[in-house]
Amino acid sequence: MKDFKIAPSILAADFARLGDEVKDVLDAGADIVHFDVMDNHYVPNLTIGPMVCKALRNYGITAPVDVHLMVEPVDDMIGMFADAGADYITFHPEASRHVDRSIQLIKQKGCKAGLVLNPATPIDSVRHVLPQLDMLLLMSVNPGFGGQKFIPYTLDKLREARRLIDEIEANSDASIRLEIDGGVTADNIYEIASAGADTFVAGSAIFGKEDYRTAIDNMRSELAR
Ligand code: DX5
Ligand code: ZN
């Protein structure tokens, strides 16, 4: 079986008890903490910054943290999140004036670099920098809010991304995770995995459930189908 990873989005967690929520979801079997950063500028919502990432590290969270930057500009936040303990830092190419430079900056700071493509953004627009990435994240909703419905045409984009990534990996030592974000549930995760995703962000489908372990187990049994 493929190395599938489940990345709960803390956007759907109870922020009043965030440290415990993250501990609980990791104890329930999650692999990665997906950390949504919104600035009320690039997206019309406002969330959390590097201080909260650092606080989670200080609280004893050691799992990989996948920082999804929905901010503009991007570069100022890179060093701050690297210092705060981020593992992956991903950003939207529309939000950086010099995409290649931002990717290099993330790597220089010792983090894994990823790009995030909105539903309408073609994969072709970042084709030349793909080999430098550790992660390609495809949005399956418009960024800014949790709890939206999965946009079906994203499945075609996943298939296209999977083909390109396989080709790059076959011809180099690159290893690129293909992550999907938005509207992922136990009901559609099998189809999403079949289209090529290997890393699954899920907010409401995990934190919105009474029992996180059951929610994650249901996803994993679909992935094992
Ligand atoms: C949306 C965020 C997502 C969001 C996913 O801008 O990037 O990570 O929290 O939430 P669900 O899984 O509820 O669609
Ligand atoms: Zn996200």
Determine which residue's CA is closest to atom 4 belonging to ligand 1: 146
> Distance, CA 176 to ligand 1 centroid (Å)?
21
Q: Residue 212 sits in a domain of what CATH number?
A: 3.20.20.70
C-alpha 169/C-alpha 45 separation (Å) is 36
* Closest ligand, as measured to the CA of 11: 1
Q: Which of 211, 155, 217, 158 is nearest to 188 (CA)?
A: 155
Q: Which residues contact 63 (CB under 8 A, 6 or more apart)?
A: 26, 30, 31, 32, 33
Tokens of 1: 């079986």
Positive/negative CA dihedral, 23, 27, 32, 34: negative
Please tell me which residue in 36, 39, 66, 198 is annotated as part of the active site: 36
- Cβ proximity of 105 and 91 under 8 Å: no
Give backbone dihedrals phi and psi of 71, rounded to 5 degrees, phi first. Answer: -135, 155
Positive/negative CA dihedral, 109, 19, 66, 80: negative
Q: Is 147 annotated as a binding residue?
A: yes
Pocket of ligand 1 (CB under 6 A): 9, 11-12, 34, 36, 68, 141, 143-148, 181-184, 201-205
Q: Is 68 annotated as a binding residue?
A: yes
For the entire predicted model, the pTM comes to: 0.98
Helix ranges restricted to H, the chain: 18-27, 50-58, 75-83, 99-108, 154-170, 189-194, 204-207, 212-223
Range of the domain at 58: 5-223
ipTM exceeding 0.90, yes/no: yes
- Cβ proximity of 5 and 177 under 8 Å: yes
Q: Which of 88, 92, 45 is nearest to 72 (CA)?
A: 92
36 is catalytic: yes
181 is catalytic: yes
Sequential pLDDT tens for the chain (225 residues)? 689 999 999 999 999 999 999 999 999 999 999 999 999 999 999 999 999 999 999 999 999 999 999 999 999 999 999 999 999 999 999 999 999 999 999 999 999 999 999 999 999 999 999 999 999 999 999 999 999 999 999 999 999 999 999 999 999 999 999 999 999 999 999 999 999 999 999 999 999 999 999 999 999 999 999
CA-to-CA dists, residue 35 to 98, 131, 137, 141, 165, angstroms: 23, 24, 13, 16, 24
Counted domains in the chain: 1
pLDDT at residue 200 in the model: 99
Atom of ligand 1 nearest to the CA of 142: 6
Q: Is 183 annotated as a binding residue?
A: yes
pLDDT at residue 43 in the model: 98
Tokens of 115: 């790009």
> Reduced to 3 states, what is the DSSP secondary structure of residue 23?
helix
Q: In a mutational test of the pocket of ligand 1, which residue from 189, 201, 219 has the highest number of ligand atoms less than 8 Å from its CB?
A: 201
Q: Which residues contact 185 (CB under 8 A, 6 or more apart)?
A: 150, 202, 205
> Distance, CA 68 to ligand 2 centroid (Å)?
5
C-alpha 70/C-alpha 156 separation (Å) is 23
Model confidence pLDDT, tens digit, residues 58-117: 999 999 999 999 999 999 999 999 999 999 999 999 999 999 999 999 999 999 999 999
pLDDT at residue 2 in the model: 86
Q: Is 182 annotated as a binding residue?
A: yes
* Closest ligand, as measured to the CA of 192: 1
C-alpha 135/C-alpha 185 separation (Å) is 21
